[in-house]
Amino acid sequence: MEFELDTAIEILKRAPATLNEIVRDAPNELLTGNEGEGTWCAFDVIGHLIHGEETDWIPRAKIIIEYATSRPFGPYDRFAQFEKSKGKTANELPDTFEKLWKKNIKELERITPDKLQLRGTHPSLGEVTLSELLSAWVVYALDHIGQIVRVMSKQYTEAVGPWKAYLSILSFKGITY
């Protein structure tokens, strides 16, 4: 599938509502349970999404548009959420995410298709296009929403009894970080 800006915007616009429906007022055990040692819980993933909204997608798109390859992206701290989310509640995080996401979608809507082939420099991937960055943002959002659903589902592994054999989401081995 080729990247289409309008399609990406429509998918990304849905992320906050989807996330909110999944996690809002969910029992703490579902939000703080993980898939084993070194894996993230739903609360951690939401914090990670927030950090990405603050430092990754739109900030990097702006670097590409303004500086192209002459100014590389700064490194991304994939673990910043552990410090930044301390003391926050499970319902605070989706609100913060939605506020940042909506602001970033407005920025995304200002990007014109003629900019999509502009190039920037990623610290480990090398040259990337704006189109690739924005495509990755769509997949990143869907991936982490899927991760939240999977991690929450895993908390029922024992409770489902023999149905575990029919629930493929429970057989996925968690990603360790």
| pLDDT of 177 | 72
Rounded mean pLDDT, 107-123: 97
State how far the Cα of 34 lies from the Cα of 44, in Å rounded to an integer. 9
CA distance 130 to 117: 6
pLDDT digits (tens, 9 = 90+) for 28-67: 999 999 999 999 999 999 999 999 999 999 999 999 999 9
Residue type, 154: K
Per DSSP, the three-state class of 128 is strand
CA distance 100 to 165: 39
Q: Minimum mean pLDDT among 47-51, 120-124, 146-150, 168-172: which range? A: 168-172
| Separation of alpha carbons 33 and 159, rounded Å | 14
What does the pLDDT look like over 73-113, one tens digit per residue? 999 999 999 998 998 888 899 999 999 999 999 999 999 99
Domains of the chain, first to last: 5-170 (1.20.120.450)
Closest to 81 (Cα-Cα) out of 60, 58, 53: 53
pLDDT surpasses 90 at 173: no
pLDDT at 176: 74
The string of pLDDT tens digits covering residues 123-138 is 999 999 999 999 999 9
Helices (H), ranges, 56-91 = 57-67, 81-84
Residue 139 is predicted with a pLDDT of 96
- For the cut 80, the answer to whether the pLDDT of residue 27 exceeds it is yes
